[in-house]
Structure 1
Amino acid sequence: MDFDHFHTGIEIQWWLKKWAHERPDIVDLYIVGESFSGQPIYQLTITDKSTGVDTDKPAAYFEGNRHSGEISSAESSLWLAHHLITRAGKDRAVDKLLDDKTVYIRPVNNPDGHDMYLYTAQTNRSTVRPYDNDGDGKRDEDPGEDLNGDGYLSQMRQYVGAGKGTHVVDERDPSGNAMLSVGAGKGDYLMFSEGTDNDGDGRYNEDGVGGLDLHRNYPYNWHVMAEHDATGRNLTQGGAGEYPLSEPETRHVYTWLMSHTNIAAVNSMDTRVPMHLRGPSTCDPVECMYRSDRKLYEHFDKAGVSFTGYRNAGSVYIDYATRNGGEPQALFGHGPDFGYFQYGAVWYGDEIWNGGDFVDYDKDGRYADWERSRWCAENGRTNCFLPWTTAQHPTLGTVEIGGINPKFWSQNPSPDLIGKWAANQARFNLYLTESLPQVDLGDVKVKKLKGTQRDGATHELTVTVRNTGRIPTALEQAREIKIVAPDTVEVTGARTVGAAPEFHLDGGDAEKVRLRLVKTGGDTVTVKAVSVRGGLDFATARLS
């Protein structure tokens, strides 16, 4: 498998089926549901089946391509799957991880959008469900058109004469690719997105394919879209959908997670900031997160940057919203908020790729097209911008079509770069997996009791349960909302006297458990540490 091109949906299915066929000892492939248009959504379970079933182990869940055009995330998901599957049996670290843990990978959560992006010139924000973006009562009636047949919907410029337009060719760009907005009546060109005004409203391509956002459709703190706000004055959320989990792609994620609460870490990846992005999305983390949970996230923020070199890491509300200045801004119905506040897990929505923003040449803290073009020229890259070529527009007449490559430089890297970005992001996801909680039984001791005990106990058993992982068996938030049961210790082969012990273990912590037993048969008992997110561990003890 190579990572110097973007895999089509057909290719991805071929690889998933190949892995499942060749490595049935560690791979299961199945369909979790259907997309809006009825396509199957495939998912892998990767774990060593000989050491236990997937749900008995701590687990991580990784998802790519929720948003149609953000196909880099599918490649990172595939890179991780390929790494685990091909290194199993050859790499001790991978073998140990699959012995103890489970990895669920859904490479393409939105196959409709993924196919549209790679097989056509179209792109959009998220789902392909038709939506009235411009409020004229019609849906998807004004998409862009690929007028010059180059496979992209790019920019269109019309020369109207000096001082009659809004843009000029940016003199700072030595290649002459970039345009600069200078204001009405000050430029030489008018700028448009490539296409025609299909609905005759004076705007170009303002109602393209779809428009809802699968990452605003989660149930936690979901808000209606503006057109559904009966008051006309409340906070609303664009792209939220008709109701929480209205979109099948999001609903299939939700139902899987809620039935697999052994999952303690999630990354539902996007493009393109770049950023290790997580909640909260509506409040200051200092004010609305438990301190210990926040500190754990801050650790992962730093760890993530060490793997990827992303410029940004932190919360949606503070770090994402203010990264270019301005005030904090809320997002509602956001996946990472559901993930932390309602699911009680470590949940990231990482943004892969930098949009071609490599060097801020003028040191103003922002990146412009001329800087992207200059970097490409200095590095011998000719695929970052599409050359301006003349075309005849049905209403505008002679125009030129070109500008930054919208698919493979602006929204995603060029194919020759995707391998590096996919791998770096996957290595952080691997670190999250290695950090999962893991219960471990030790120091098992049995003492025979003398005489007749009031409770009938014949033996006393002590055992130490350790969490060898970095992540607690339950975050403080998880404990508050009771998304997972407390950890406990169970004994078979003897009767336990009194209530079962209940506890939670922070990362690296241990709990000494004392149980009083009544011998009911043989001399050997099985002791089991039980944790929803920390998995299971077993030991045997002899009743003397």
Structure 2
Amino acid sequence: MKPIFAGYSRFPQFLLLIAMGAPLAWGAQAPRIKFDHVHTYAEVVSYLEEVVAAYPEITRLHTIGQSYLGKDLLVLELTNRETGDGLDKPGYWIDGNLHAGEVAGGEIALHTIKTLTSGYGSDPKITSVLDDKVFYIMPKLNPDGSDHVITRPDNLRSVVRPFDDDGDGQKDEDPGEDLNGDGYITMMRVRDPNGALRTSPDDPRLMVSVTDGDDPTDWQGEWTVYTEGVDSDGDGRFNEDGVGGIDINRNFPENWQPHPISYQPGPYPLSEAESRAVVDFQLTLPNLTGLINYHMSGNVAVYPPSNQRVDPLSGDKVRASFEDEKIYKRMGGKIADLVKDDVEVNVFKIHGASPASWHGSIWGTYVDWAYFQNGIFSWIFEFGVYPQTTAALPARPSESERLRISDKMGGKLFVDWQPYDHPQLGEVEIGGFLRKIYMPDYGTYTSIGCLPGERYDRLLEAHTNWHLYLIEQSPLVRVTETQVEALDGDLVRIRARIENTGLLPSYVTQQALDTGIAVPVRANIELHNAALLSGSASMEIGHLEGGSSRSGKRRAWVEWLAKTQAGNGTPMATVTAVSQKGGTDSRNLELR
């Protein structure tokens, strides 16, 4: 669908926005949204339109590009523009649904939008945050892929652009199929004495490796397993080339590698519409201090690097700086406290060095680009992929643990094996674990990690609170004191104290400082009915440390000499502190 918004133009020519009135707008009703299913792109567009109409003074809707199928890529900006434009405030970015089936991030983003808009003006913390800072929230980074997974029985990792997965010169020619018409694509098992699996002695619904167990006499093959479907292209393999294939989280320019070094990274960095749009737009937001990119793989908060980086000159291994890593661990510890589950917080696997050991060699990731090239704190949070209506599960629960949870939920997560006459394999059995559940009230599928319930609601709230915590860490540069001293004649001395009242330094990361992309703080002065005699109208004062730093300067005094002029009006000065990451702040002074 093509949503039509009144009063917005397309990026990059202009920032796309809708803005009018004050929250709540006169006659508007607060938008309603329930987290009892995963929302489609159309539902998200409708909700964002309602949010902008209801809260025009604190929202702007940006269209930053179009997806492969032509859907508008939407980012909601949230800040009180009465206290300044968003670009003049520290910013934080949140997105979800980069990977098609990892839908929790989109729901977390929507929950954060609901909390911020409904709380502004009544909740002191939210009001303070949106007065001084700005959120950029993108619920659907990959709307094509998300809708595909939500509305169809098959699964998809990333974008829908056709891709030749198996290298046979054809694209998307052998997807999985729902053969038995139950609404799901599960697994097929075929009896095979040479198969790699046999029936579990503990539960006949499960299978184990042939060599599982201590008694070699039990090591007899029984089953070969396939994804449900047929061999559509006749190459002897089943469902090896489904819809899409390119992984946009291997498509970013930092540490990018071609296939097969990196798995399905696209033909070149930023070849995909979605990744290119995100990078292009974020480069117009120099005020960003951090971002979270949500995924679903078992309660893990991870930070860069995603793979081993090597300095091209020295050949030394490179990781996040020691100073930045301390901050990463503190930030990650907060979500562990909020979620109250066993959340791992660590760097991605570096040759086995990380507890997040299932991450293999990962190249060209979004968060690596954001940290190493854009100089901001970037996170991947892997939301739990298994049902959040129960107690926390291990990051990689065993099949017996998953089956136990399914049984407690009335068998919702497992389809019992049923015989089926396969046109190519003959007699097979179809069944196995589900990754999503059909919701007949909505006609869509919901990930089993997003099944509604009290615990799921609590996790949505916990992540929203983490977002507030993270943006509150931002630098916040202010003019905290001014002095005007009358000298001989018409001369005046003007002094101002510029201070970082936030927690992070004005450069945000040591990475930004080390690579030279951090922009120093400046102090500007504008005179009315006065002339500047000494001192620069725009004075660089360097970087200012934040409250989390144990050393270094947090504040600096600047001084100017001016001569007042007779004329209309009182001689005035406007002193402005300008920090790329810490915002802009001004004070007006009478020169007398």
TM (norm. structure 2) is 0.82
Out of 112, 117, 125, the residue aligned to residue 149 of structure 2 is 117
Amino acid at match of 1:335: Y
The answer for the alignment partner of 2:163 in structure 1 is 131
**Cα 1:444–1:360 shift into 2, 3 Å:** closer
Separation (CA, whole Å) in 2 of partners of 1:533 and 1:414: 35
The answer for the alignment partner of 1:182 in structure 2 is 210
| Structure 2 counterpart SS, 1:541 | strand
The answer for the alignment partner of 1:230 in structure 2 is none
The answer for the alignment partner of 2:130 in structure 1 is 98
Amino acid at match of 2:222: D
Out of 56, 64, 69, the residue aligned to residue 24 of structure 1 is 56
8 A Cα contact 2:494 2:561, kept in partner: yes
Deviations 1:457-494 (A, max 9, x none): 74141314123234644322112333342111111115
Deviations 1:319-339 (A, max 9, x none): 98743759x854221111111
Amino acid at match of 2:148: M
What is the CA-CA distance between 1:259 and the residue it aligns to?
A: 0.6
Aligned positions of 1:71-82 closer than 5 A: 71-82=103-114
What is the CA-CA distance between 1:150 and the residue it aligns to?
A: 2.3
Aligned positions of 1:33-182 closer than 5 A: 33-160=65-192, 163-173=193-203, 176-182=204-210
What is the CA-CA distance between 1:168 and the residue it aligns to?
A: 2.7
What is the CA-CA distance between 1:300 and the residue it aligns to?
A: 1.1
Deviations 1:411-460 (A, max 9, x none): 641522543443333322222122222112212223344589xxxx7414
8 A Cα contact 2:200 2:206, kept in partner: yes
The answer for the alignment partner of 1:201 in structure 2 is 235
| Larger deviation, residues 116-125 vs 508-517 | 508-517
Q: Structure 1: 5+ residue runs without aligned partners?
A: 227-235
The answer to whether residue 545 in structure 2 is matched with residue 516 in structure 1 is no
| Structure 2 counterpart SS, 1:427 | helix
Amino acid at match of 1:250: S
8 A Cα contact 2:573 2:590, kept in partner: yes
The answer to whether residue 492 in structure 2 is matched with residue 462 in structure 1 is no
| Structure 2 counterpart SS, 1:202 | coil
| Larger deviation, residues 108-117 vs 176-185 | 176-185
Separation (CA, whole Å) in 1 of partners of 2:149 and 2:305: 30
The answer to whether residue 529 in structure 2 is matched with residue 497 in structure 1 is no
**Cα 1:256–1:406 shift into 2, 3 Å:** same
| Structure 2 counterpart SS, 1:350 | strand
The answer for the alignment partner of 1:283 in structure 2 is 308
The answer for the alignment partner of 2:287 in structure 1 is 262
Separation (CA, whole Å) in 2 of partners of 1:311 and 1:58: 28
Separation (CA, whole Å) in 1 of partners of 2:181 and 2:281: 41
The answer for the alignment partner of 1:385 in structure 2 is 414
Amino acid at match of 1:515: E
**Cα 1:385–1:256 shift into 2, 3 Å:** same
Amino acid at match of 1:96: S
Out of 403, 422, 439, the residue aligned to residue 432 of structure 2 is 403
Separation (CA, whole Å) in 2 of partners of 1:284 and 1:506: 28
Aligned positions of 1:352-501 closer than 5 A: 352-355=383-386, 367-377=397-407, 379-408=408-437, 412-417=448-453, 418-449=456-487, 458-470=492-504, 472-493=506-527, 495=532, 497-499=534-536, 500-501=539-540
Deviations 1:330-364 (A, max 9, x none): 42211111111100001112111143598899x9x
Separation (CA, whole Å) in 2 of partners of 1:320 and 1:434: 33
8 A Cα contact 2:176 2:230, kept in partner: yes
| Larger deviation, residues 58-67 vs 430-439 | 430-439
**Cα 1:147–1:529 shift into 2, 3 Å:** same
8 A Cα contact 2:521 2:578, kept in partner: yes
8 A Cα contact 1:440 1:468, kept in partner: no
8 A Cα contact 1:72 1:422, kept in partner: no
8 A Cα contact 1:359 1:371, kept in partner: no
Deviations 1:153-201 (A, max 9, x none): 21112234xx45332332334xx43322325972322211111111222
**Cα 1:7–1:72 shift into 2, 3 Å:** same
**Cα 1:70–1:366 shift into 2, 3 Å:** closer
What is the CA-CA distance between 1:273 and the residue it aligns to?
A: 2.7
| Structure 1 counterpart SS, 2:449 | coil
Separation (CA, whole Å) in 1 of partners of 2:232 and 2:306: 37
Q: Structure 2: 5+ residue runs without aligned partners?
A: 1-32, 213-218, 311-316, 438-444, 548-552
What is the CA-CA distance between 1:287 and the residue it aligns to?
A: 4.8
8 A Cα contact 1:438 1:467, kept in partner: yes
| Structure 2 counterpart SS, 1:413 | helix
The answer for the alignment partner of 1:336 in structure 2 is 367
What is the CA-CA distance between 1:298 and the residue it aligns to?
A: 1.5
8 A Cα contact 2:498 2:577, kept in partner: no
| Structure 2 counterpart SS, 1:143 | coil
Amino acid at match of 2:82: S
TM (norm. structure 1) is 0.89
What is the CA-CA distance between 1:123 and the residue it aligns to?
A: 1.5
Which structure shows the higher helix fraction?
1
Separation (CA, whole Å) in 2 of partners of 1:271 and 1:366: 12
Deviations 1:234-259 (A, max 9, x none): xx211211111110100111011101
The answer for the alignment partner of 2:258 in structure 1 is 224
- The RMSD of aligned alpha carbons is 2.8
What is the CA-CA distance between 1:312 and the residue it aligns to?
A: 1.6
The answer for the alignment partner of 1:536 in structure 2 is 584
The answer for the alignment partner of 1:192 in structure 2 is 226
Separation (CA, whole Å) in 2 of partners of 1:53 and 1:84: 17
**Cα 1:290–1:166 shift into 2, 3 Å:** closer
The answer for the alignment partner of 1:299 in structure 2 is 330
Separation (CA, whole Å) in 1 of partners of 2:291 and 2:93: 5
8 A Cα contact 2:346 2:354, kept in partner: no
**Cα 1:359–1:369 shift into 2, 3 Å:** farther
**Cα 1:462–1:85 shift into 2, 3 Å:** closer
8 A Cα contact 1:63 1:106, kept in partner: yes
What is the CA-CA distance between 1:102 and the residue it aligns to?
A: 0.7
8 A Cα contact 1:70 1:412, kept in partner: no
The answer for the alignment partner of 1:233 in structure 2 is none
Separation (CA, whole Å) in 1 of partners of 2:109 and 2:533: 45
| Larger deviation, residues 126-135 vs 338-347 | 126-135
What is the CA-CA distance between 1:90 and the residue it aligns to?
A: 2.0
| Structure 2 counterpart SS, 1:15 | helix
Amino acid at match of 2:449: P
Separation (CA, whole Å) in 1 of partners of 2:194 and 2:391: 32
8 A Cα contact 1:307 1:424, kept in partner: yes
Separation (CA, whole Å) in 2 of partners of 1:116 and 1:167: 32
8 A Cα contact 2:505 2:544, kept in partner: no
Amino acid at match of 1:302: G
Out of 506, 514, 518, the residue aligned to residue 545 of structure 2 is 506
What is the CA-CA distance between 1:79 and the residue it aligns to?
A: 0.7
The answer for the alignment partner of 2:271 in structure 1 is 246
8 A Cα contact 1:386 1:405, kept in partner: yes
| Larger deviation, residues 83-92 vs 505-514 | 505-514
